[in-house]
Structure 1
């Protein structure tokens, strides 16, 4: 597992599974000859997208960002359609760190699409239960509303099985919430109406998890948005605002989906200042 240490905090990328999604959909209207120079695709035109939660300890709390795709949460058709070649090994990853699932205190959910939220639950004797029973799960109120009452478009990614057994653990916010000192969730919309990002001011460093408005290092251009985005113009606005601020101040970007980089720091000119690459197994 790759780790990045900033000050007294170590970020560890857990093994949350992998999907392979259509490259055209992941880069929207951007022509393939442009995006394939920045992110490799396979013979089916699919790009590899990790679903690896980020674990860290802060103020005495065990914290995860996102939850992975879970184990036995997708049927064979879904696994085929979404290119799932590997399911979650989050529990094993945590065990390697000496942490039990019931010791997770906080889970930060930028949004509740299946590839982020399926790991919140597990099957026990055929019934779904919370995979992290002691955790408070944070997401926006707008996201939580749509999760429970999806529309004709979003019902394919907001699954009832992913929220019923964890509903009592969810705590929501409207626009912005400081979870712990310096650790803040901020509503952006865009990818989904309730989508949020995470900003972490840690000593002299600042880290951003842009989630699915910037799922990989190849999405730094504000205009390169996903066909999956419900509100692409909102994504463009949020990307332009936050990427500009981050590069001007050399923030770290943390990724959940990127198959190449775990974290990257760019300068104002867009040159890489520092990076943490994923070790392919």
Structure 2
């Protein structure tokens, strides 16, 4: 699996983090420039932390259910192999605005824990905890954990075992999730068992906040219900003065889906996803917002722009950034 960087080193925020990093030793391979990217938007700071890469065969389908031809797919996803699979990053996003410090989708837990990740060929970076050390953040500083949905690669870092008991990794944080995402998983719709493993512990500690629809967390930071990937899938939006930022989570898995909005991996409710995608693209374009998504490769950030009768993704490249994948 090839190693990719995440576009760090070009901004003042990145350079400050890298300066701190020189004094920090981590056991997992990868320099900070390979897994952290930061952008500042007025009072808001957004940091993308690449937790690792997995190999995924998405079996992408059109809206009518027919498969996207492999040659067409490989034409827009150059890293795709002869089976259509690709190595994709799994990103956790840290958002700081005023008194709010939110972690969006804490990806993976400890490497020693049981999980499905060996079959996905997970290759870890130094990860979220190393990034926190570089940025001077302790788990107790996190005020919110915003969960876009309950797929395992987005939630496996929610908890940690302390003194033999599973507990929330962020002991003072409110864990925020759409109610209609949790209730099926709390029943029997939890094929990997990861939602129950983590969210039952969060719930038992009284830190789980179930929401319905769009909710402002504070200081212009919103969680917005945008289903399709799942019934309770959500995105995160920040309005900070004249600036706007959207974390699109898994509304899009690949940049090409912005242009081909009737494409989606098997299992996605494409009719609902197209509706959510259209609504979000209109909002993003109107706000001239900076964006990322859950599996964005370098340089991690980009913009959605009009392209004919539809939209297209444009990577935001800065001096020193890696080339878009």
Q: TM-score, normalised by structure 1?
A: 0.87
- Verify the 8 A CA contact 1:255 1:261 in the aligned structure 2: no
Matched with 2:263 is: 224
Which deviations, in whole Å up to 9, do the C-alpha atoms of 1:231-252 show, x marking residues without a partner? 2211111112211332354222
Question: Which of the residues 137, 144, 150 maps onto 2:182?
Answer: 144
82 and 127 in structure 1: CA distance in 2 versus 1, 3 angstrom threshold:
farther
Matched with 1:155 is: 191
Shift of 1:13: 1.6
The answer to whether 1:30 aligns with 2:72 is no
Matched with 1:204 is: 242
Larger radius of gyration: 2
- Distance (Å, rounded) in 1 between the aligned partners of 2:49 and 2:125: 12
Which deviations, in whole Å up to 9, do the C-alpha atoms of 1:62-97 show, x marking residues without a partner? 211111122137637x22322212267211110110
The answer to whether 1:59 aligns with 2:98 is yes
278 and 202 in structure 1: CA distance in 2 versus 1, 3 angstrom threshold:
farther
Unmatched runs of 5 consecutive residues or more in structure 1: none
The answer to whether 1:165 aligns with 2:207 is no
- Distance (Å, rounded) in 2 between the aligned partners of 1:10 and 1:248: 21
Shift of 1:195: 0.7
The correspondence of residues 17-166 of structure 1 with structure 2, limited to 5 A, is 17-25=52-60, 29-39=67-77, 40-42=79-81, 45-72=84-111, 75=114, 78-86=116-124, 89-124=127-162, 127-151=165-189, 154-156=190-192, 158-166=194-202
273 and 91 in structure 1: CA distance in 2 versus 1, 3 angstrom threshold:
closer
- Distance (Å, rounded) in 1 between the aligned partners of 2:153 and 2:275: 24
CA RMSD across the alignment: 2.6
Shift of 1:192: 0.8
Unmatched runs of 5 consecutive residues or more in structure 2: 1-35
- Verify the 8 A CA contact 1:254 1:264 in the aligned structure 2: yes
Shift of 1:254: 1.5
Matched with 2:43 is: 8
Q: TM-score, normalised by structure 2?
A: 0.76
- Verify the 8 A CA contact 1:24 1:32 in the aligned structure 2: no
- Verify the 8 A CA contact 2:44 2:98 in the aligned structure 1: no
- Verify the 8 A CA contact 1:70 1:87 in the aligned structure 2: no
Count the aligned residue pairs: 276
